[in-house]
Structure 1
């Protein structure tokens, strides 16, 4: 291994051939360059215990981003899945001790889909009471791009390669004539002719792209595989039913469109046999398996319909189209698109003789949509999870069925609860927007307060009486010459039923404000804070020095309703609770809560 894990071929850093100290040093240097003049970068020596920090970046507004460096060149799947525990422990330490705004895992390889999902879901493990950070990951592609962005780091790493690079350059320059471009093409073309002559059925195409040599095995004609078959055999050392093993199996059995990448350490007994042209292929450092779609498949572009079945009846339908078909040993994979390409289904359907059931992966994207459109899309996504059965019709003919009643894992249930939360908030916000006439895109994030304010606003629009966190108390103005009547004494010292004009009700939701109309605050046991002190001052003829605030009995909030000139509408008002899962209701258990007001 040379300095920085470089190889002479292409003179590129081989991230998989470093060690932890060199990896840390390179990444730390890149981060120092990236944030120079922008933020403060703190490099932590972990020998004394880093409490979940390798590199901490602090912006002028006190936003903190923690980078956790893990030298896992083999990844975190298969035999190396135990490394996920290390990553989670580091995340929990950072969340507990430092509460960063963002936490980034840095590793020297690109992540599989399963690994990326594991990292992103770490945010759900944030300890209670701690700030929930945004979680992301940085792999080989991002590190390579940083080296391109900051070439001075790359040059620093290549000092001991300069002499050898110069020798190669001089040798190649001496071998060319003055017409360099033509001579280069001639030399490469001649080499291609030599390769083509080796086999009548197969050949190697080759290219040099940014210092990397790419060789592609190509059939010279359609019958090459029949005339001169090439076999690739290998054994995988993957943990049974691990995410990597499932992805690999799906790619082989159903032709999954997902690229499957296996580290060389997970591949054994690798052998390519057949034509002499493939002899000498070495053990791979990385094995990439990708199923190509069937060209000109008749089903592509055809109408696809989802039927959501509940209690034996069609509850709803959605129409879309087939976008691709892949075949495997056990069945085929269909890619489908719905809702303007915002909802995608990847459906694995077994061949008729296979006992395997149909399985389905769901993808969706609500970014940039209005709350109404986001709610409609999420309603379809939830229907795919909660219906008794999903039926897929291709051009009016039943293609497959999917039973939704299978056993759900804890992760599945958590994911479903998150989708329900987002859907309910989007639906509430859509009703508020429809009432006010305002427009906005669905926010990328929202808080518990946003959920409560949107639900309260929706219930108010629906003619309900609702406890509102925005109505905690009202200031009362009282002049020193006010007549001290028995009624005023009672107001200042006793609890009483009150309907208080609260002015325009403005709901703050996701950084925006929505005016719903004139509102009235109600409570049957309202009282005046500092009322006794005010009464004493009035009796003495003194000025009232303490602020008088109307409070909602022993409850944290007043109940609020929107004013209406319609008598029948006012008579139909009822107190409604929020009904938001996992958010505690604000009022005490009182008999009058069930009565109309």
Structure 2
């Protein structure tokens, strides 16, 4: 903290507070020192020291523009004889030069005005680049150095893109926003058609959100920059791009994000990494990446917290989908959160519930059911792949029935509408008896592979059956057998009333042979049963 001493500074020009420890700097511009022949100057120093002691500092430093003599140093050290715990020292010319050498833009900033007339006289910006690209590099570097002296807290990077001059204003340090905030005023800059732009603008300026806002000329012409003075834009129409700057060294740091119930208890926890941290006029913002597929944006202000979650379902595995959807559900239901970064813990309570998006909730419920089904099927078949981006109704039914089979249910099998048998030419009594009946029960065991996209899943040996099966081409088969042409003849078995065969996975039903085989409904939203599936020939 620095003080204006024109009306008396109480012995403090600069005060630095580190926890409970205070360090006071007293600045004296004595160009020719304060030796024993300068009693008035020594009295000024003594008075400043006495006043500063009222603040009980741990360290007191006298800053002067010269290197102290032994006598001057002894004078300063003797002032602290009654305070052995106090650290006393002088910061002279040598130390000042050493510190300033690391911040050359400070020196250039303070001598800038005296050099302006030289720049105008030489007119270097219009000189020919006789040295080619090397001259251009040196000229650009020199101009950038001059531009860097515009402000102690803000730097300007300039580029030419397609004939357009682009200035990028950036902070030189983390305290730039607090020491010299960029401020502006606008008179009804945003119209009714600019609601979306204004919302983003408020997020970026108010909280330092990570979005990028583009303000077109029709908006910027009503903006007036009030600080700093040099930032006044040109009179010509211009476009303003507003983005926040990350203000933390913890970008990329690992963190843990906890969701809390109404009593403040942790209900769920997620590993996260910090990808953005910004600050604005109304609060601050944090962007977290969770589980590699979720970006969580937090805007924290006096009124509470605003949360926004963006999901990237591309190439979700079933496990990823289930974890992310569970996170979304917890995020909607729970009111508070904690962010744990190393030894630091931030707790925020949300003012209200998240806006309920019915369509999103329904879509996530559908994806969740699909992920649950596919997770069971993939583990059974030991074949793993991401959830396909597009799934037909037929594939969706197959995944569902496969799960039901694996869990020991009896199902109506969508793809099994008929069986075809090829005769070997022998006309035995059992075949004759079957052909004589109008309908017969039938059971067939078969190894089944299911194809989802480009992925083949082997379910194992299924048992297909139906209690009332008709022989679709009975007359043709009988005529072939009577004529002695039975070998190679196909017999087509079709369930009565164009139903589908039932199926079970026997290995999934140990000890359940005596149970009735009643088909389990598919249980898919919008698809109640096989009669809704239209196939060629239906």
* 1:494 counterpart = 2:445: no
Match of 2:454 among 504, 511, 528: 511
When normalised by structure 1's length, the TM-score is 0.57
1:57-76 CA distances to partner (integer Å, 9 max, x unpaired)? xxxxxxxxxxxxxxxxxxxx
The corresponding residue for 2:463 is 520
Question: CA shift at 1:363, angstroms?
Answer: 2.4
The corresponding residue for 1:70 is none
Larger gyration radius, structure 1 or structure 2: 2
Q: Distance in 2 between matches of 1:265 and 1:211?
A: 21
* 1:399 counterpart = 2:342: no
Match of 1:360 among 293, 307, 319: 307
Q: Distance in 2 between matches of 1:229 and 1:317?
A: 37
1:23-67 CA distances to partner (integer Å, 9 max, x unpaired)? xxxxxxxxxxxxxxxxxxxxxxxxxxxxxxxxxxxxxxxxxxxxx
Conserved 8 A contact 1:436-1:515:
yes
Question: CA shift at 1:507, angstroms?
Answer: 1.0
* 1:258 counterpart = 2:205: no
The corresponding residue for 2:361 is 416
Match of 1:548 among 491, 504, 518: 491
CA RMSD of aligned residues (A): 4.2
Question: CA shift at 1:347, angstroms?
Answer: 2.0
Question: CA shift at 1:527, angstroms?
Answer: 1.8
Taking structure 1 as reference, are residues 539 and 263 closer, same or farther at Cα in structure 2, changes over 3 Å only? same
**Structure 2, gaps ≥5 residues long:** 1-124, 533-538
1:349-406 CA distances to partner (integer Å, 9 max, x unpaired)? 332xx2xx5332112334455x343333333344246x53253223396723458965
Question: CA shift at 1:475, angstroms?
Answer: 0.2
Match of 2:427 among 482, 493, 496: 482
Conserved 8 A contact 2:423-2:489:
no
Which SS does the other structure have where 1:451 is aligned?
helix
Which SS does the other structure have where 1:324 is aligned?
strand
The corresponding residue for 2:371 is 426
When normalised by structure 2's length, the TM-score is 0.62
Match of 1:271 among 208, 224, 238: 224
The corresponding residue for 2:81 is none
The corresponding residue for 1:460 is 405
Aligned pairs (5 A) from 1:171-570 = 175-177=128-130, 179-188=131-140, 191=143, 204-208=156-160, 213-217=165-169, 231-234=183-186, 235-239=188-192, 242-274=195-227, 277-282=230-235, 284-296=237-249, 301=253, 303-307=255-259, 316-339=268-291, 341-351=292-302, 354=303, 358-368=305-315, 371-384=317-330, 388-395=333-340, 399-402=347-350, 408=356, 412-479=357-424, 481-483=426-428, 488-490=432-434, 493-501=437-445, 503-535=446-478, 538=481, 547-564=490-507, 567-570=510-513
Q: Distance in 2 between matches of 1:294 and 1:335?
A: 12
Aligned length: 403
Taking structure 1 as reference, are residues 451 and 391 closer, same or farther at Cα in structure 2, changes over 3 Å only? farther
Q: Distance in 2 between matches of 1:226 and 1:469?
A: 67
Question: CA shift at 1:346, angstroms?
Answer: 0.9
Match of 1:582 among 515, 526, 529: 526
Question: CA shift at 1:260, angstroms?
Answer: 1.7
The corresponding residue for 1:33 is none
Conserved 8 A contact 2:216-2:240:
yes
**Structure 1, gaps ≥5 residues long:** 1-171, 589-597
Q: Distance in 2 between matches of 1:403 and 1:569?
A: 54
1:73-106 CA distances to partner (integer Å, 9 max, x unpaired)? xxxxxxxxxxxxxxxxxxxxxxxxxxxxxxxxxx
Question: CA shift at 1:311, angstroms?
Answer: 12
The corresponding residue for 1:165 is none
Q: Distance in 1 between matches of 2:157 and 2:420?
A: 81
The corresponding residue for 2:87 is none
